[in-house]
Structure 1
Amino acid sequence: MQVKLIFSALTMATLLGACQKAPEPVVTTDAWSPLAQRYVSLVLALGEHDKSYVDAYYGPAEWAEQAKTAGQSAADIATAGSALQAEIRALSATDTMLRLRQHYLITQLTALISHAQTLATGKRASFEQQAQQLYDTLPPQRELASFDTILAELEALVPGEGDLTERVVAYRAGFVIPQDKQQQVFERAIAECQARTLSRIDLPQQERFTLEFVEDKPWSGYNWYQGAAYSLIQINIERPIDISRAVDLGCHEGYPGHHTYNALLEQKLKNELQWVEFSVYPLFSPQSLIAEGTANYGISMAFPGEQKMQFERDVLYPLAGLDAALAAEYAQFLKLMAQLSYAGNEIARLYLNGEIDAATAQSLRQRYLLQSEAEAKQGIRFVDTYGAYVINYNWGKDLVKNYIEQGGSEDERWQRFISLLSTPKLPSSIAWE
């Protein structure tokens, strides 16, 4: 349910840019373009079998119409994907960017074939199979008991007595943004994320977004990229939102996260190089690990060190009517909570592999992620909807962090970050240079 609609604070000239159509991709006669167009067509065709699959498309409308009327089965799409993959392997990549392009198409097709086979057979792949085939990686595995030391630290930090989960839920309630302050707080947070990003990254002049507050979703926030450097950003307000999420979601969904990533790929690869494969974004693909990893690590890029806490303390806490004197304490609490995130991967692993049922998974989320019953249920709903996609947030962030922090200076780190946002790098090609 949509609650309210607002626009970002942009100039009228920028808003007028919303009316501009994205330039049509030019399909040339080189060996790559026809194969790339076939890739786009297969992604769109598979989207007819899974409405979550095509996260964004801003190519020619007739391609989307053709996918609707083609009537390809999921099994046929898998077969066609394998044939296309073989043709792309046979191409000669003459420079680094073409090698990245070739690797991108081959690896994205591996994910497409895997997802098509899953839809064709109705048999859900294991957690490990999804991670490797859909996201081009295999995250580390940890025993749930290994998180007990972090829980012990939280026991000592969180006030009150009795069950730790209940204490954490009660403690976090003191940092919830009042509903009548949500719009103001989010607008200010996103504006700060935007300003900090634009000081480092050149985005298209017409870039813009719309912000909506919604309910009844399996996620906390979502960026629906529309093309022409425009995004619809939705924030789920069905459950209370604590003050730390304003900057997190502003960076993740907007700047320098998903909106920035998609706008740069569209500008640099689709428009300037006319690589038509970047007119579509399949959600269940290796590209998502880079997208989610950069979106999460982007928070630290925009707000290095203690700057996020300081901005929240000095600006957002007063806007929300919260006690700014508690900002540093709450930030320390959140750092410990973040160390529990991999427990969510392990619970998803057990659940997707059929080792535990939904009720047990919910109970484990309440115990190891310290979530309320409602939060835990939403977490299970997310895994039911998106499977092993959960690894893209924490493992993706860690892979991106390891790559970026090879840069010595702040300028070098930003250069490496921008390279992830504007080139065809995937998990298995991220360290080629």
Structure 2
Amino acid sequence: MNIAERYIRLAHAIDAHAPGFIDGYGGPQEWADRDRRDPGQLRREAADLARRVEDVPEADRRAWLTVQVRAMQTMTRLLDGEQLRYSDEVRGLYDIEPRRADHAALEASLQIMEDALPGTGPLVHRKNALRDRVTVPPSALLDVTAPILAELRERTRARFGLPQGEGFSIGLVSGKPWSGYNWPLGGLQSRIDINTDLPVTLTALPDLMAHEGYPGHHTEHSTKEARLVRERGWLEHHIQLINAPECVVSEGVAMNALDAVMSREELHSWLTGELAVRAGLDPDDVAAMLRVAEAQSSMKGVSGAAAMLLHEDGRPEAEVIEFLSRYNVVSEEHARKNLEFITQPNLRAYIFTYAVGSDLVRGFMASHGQDAFGRLLTEPLTPGQLEMQVPVA
């Protein structure tokens, strides 16, 4: 049995105990064996796989498999009943350090938002009032999204290239703990879902479509399938795991996707011009919401900090909801939606992939230029390699 088959079979065995561990799979169906085995047996299989990875001849393939299998070992330890400190769980699954918030910086960001929001009264009320004026109703979402995707796809194709035959479907869902999701389906295809439980603003749509589609998750998954699976025969890339270091790089790519193909000036002009007209919104309201979004971008670590309060420090949920409400500047209802994400078993440690991944990828791009983004779409780089600033090939 080759290394890819062992890796994929073990992933399915883990998923049988922890549904959702596999985010997407497009490989041989005979490898998708979900027969439940004893967690102790899975733990031994993960240790054996780690030893076999040491013999993989290709250095870049071996480095990627090493951290991925280490995450599998962490998962099997948890399944076998071992109690890990929350911060150790994050390290073991994602090969990163969980971060705590700088309260002084958060308070400074609140003041920036205070100055950016029009009107008087409580900050969250002013933000929600502005948000409501730039919200795209669910009935119009797909119509407004279509030209955004078309523009982002063309820019991605021109700058980085796209595999022949790639594509995805898009739909609206509810009852989910996330705002949008890309489901890798294999065969260069994926499905993008937009959650309509909470308002979707026009100003958020280009970033959401870049994040989930072009040149974010869909682009990365389909490009790596074409380059790594079809060209190099590394069949382990048929599968995507939700609790593994690959997600740190993937979320880092997605968090920086819009900046990789469009300048902030272009985005501002597009949103306050063509897209505002298409959505039937006041360009001045759109411009004001852009200023608020810019102010809030410095507060991207709030959810991770809340997760540390809850899982590491054992603080009560009421205190965590108050923290989320204050620093995300949202209603209690919205804060409870945030809490739902960080308490979901497969997502509770995942929350750090966004902020940490974003910073790692942004640092990599700053050191090596925008063309370095193309490497992240095609090569199996790890969080540790980005931290060490691997040289451009």
Fold similarity call, TM over 0.5: yes
* Corresponding residue of 1:368: 327
- Asked if 1:84 corresponds to 2:45, the answer is no
Counterpart amino acid of residue 57 in structure 1: Y
1:108 is matched with: 68
Contact 1:169 1:370 in 2 (8 A): no
The 8 Å contact of residues 159 and 261 in structure 2, kept in 1 or not, is answered as no
Distance apart, 1:122 and its partner CA:
6.9
User: 1:118 is matched with which residue?
Assistant: 78
The amino acid that maps onto 2:340 is R
**Which residue pairs with 2:263 in the alignment?**
304
- AA in 1 matched with 2:103: L
Contact 1:130 1:388 in 2 (8 A): yes
- What percent of counterpart residues are identical? 28
TM-score (norm 1): 0.86
The Cα shift of 1:92 comes to 6.2
How many angstroms does 1:140 deviate by?
A: 3.9
Taking a change above 3 Å as real, the CA distance of residues 308 and 75 of structure 1, as seen in their structure-2 partners, is: farther
Contact in 2 for aligned 1:349/1:388 (Cα 8 Å): no
Alpha-carbon shift at residue 146 of structure 1 (Å):
3.1
**1:230 and 2:198 matched:** no
Letter in 2 for 1:115: M
In structure 2, stretches of 5+ residues that fail to align are none
RMSD value, Cα: 1.6
Q: How far apart are the structure 2 equivalents of 1:219 and 1:35? A: 33
- Which one of the candidate residues 281, 285, 299 is aligned to 1:322? 281
Given that 1:244 and 1:312 are in contact with CA atoms closer than 8 Å, whether structure 2 keeps it comes out as yes
The one-letter amino acid of 2:20's match is S
Alignment pair present for 1:402 and 2:363: yes
Q: Deviations over 1:285-339 (max 9, x none)?
A: 0000011110110111121232212111122111111111333332121111111
| 1:241-280 equivalent positions in 2, closer than 5 A | 241-280=200-239
Q: How big is each residue's C-alpha offset from its partner over 1:112-148, in whole Å with a ceiling of 9 and x where there is no partner?
A: 111121122174x444213311111114433334311
1:354 shift after superposition: 4.1
Deviations 1:153-178 (A, max 9, x none): 22222223332222222222111112
Q: Does 1:68 align with 2:29?
A: no
Change (3 A) 1:244 1:130: farther
SS at the partner of 2:264? coil
Stretch of structure 1 that moved more, 98-107 or 72-81: 72-81
Cα pair 1:56 1:281 within 8 Å, conserved? yes
TM-score (structure 2 length as normaliser): 0.94
Q: Which residues in structure 2 correspond to 1:170-249 (within 5 Å)?
A: 170-249=129-208
| Residues paired across the two proteins, number | 387
Matches within 5 A, 1:317-396: 317-385=276-344, 386-396=347-357
1:48 matched to 2:19? The reply is no
CA change 1:170–1:326 in 2 (3 A) is closer
Structure 2 distance, partners of 1:144, 1:119, is 35
- For 2:138 and 2:131, locate their aligned partners in 1 and report how far apart those are by CA, in whole Å: 15
The runs of at least 4 consecutive aligned structure 1 residues that moved more than 4 Å come to none
CA distance in 2, matches of 1:77, 1:100: 26
Name 1:4's counterpart in structure 2.
none
| 1:422 maps to 2:382 | no
Residue 360 of structure 2 aligns with an amino acid whose one-letter code is: L
Q: Report the AA paired with residue 72 of structure 2.
A: L
Query: 2:152 is paired with a residue of what secondary structure?
Result: helix
State the shift of 1:50 in Å: 1.3
The separation in 1 between residues aligned to 2:302 and 2:104, in whole angstroms, is 9
Partners in 2 of 1:52 and 1:128 — Cα distance?
21
Letter of the structure 1 residue corresponding to residue 176 of structure 2: K
Aligned to 1:432: 390
Deviation at 1:76, TM superposition (A): 1.7
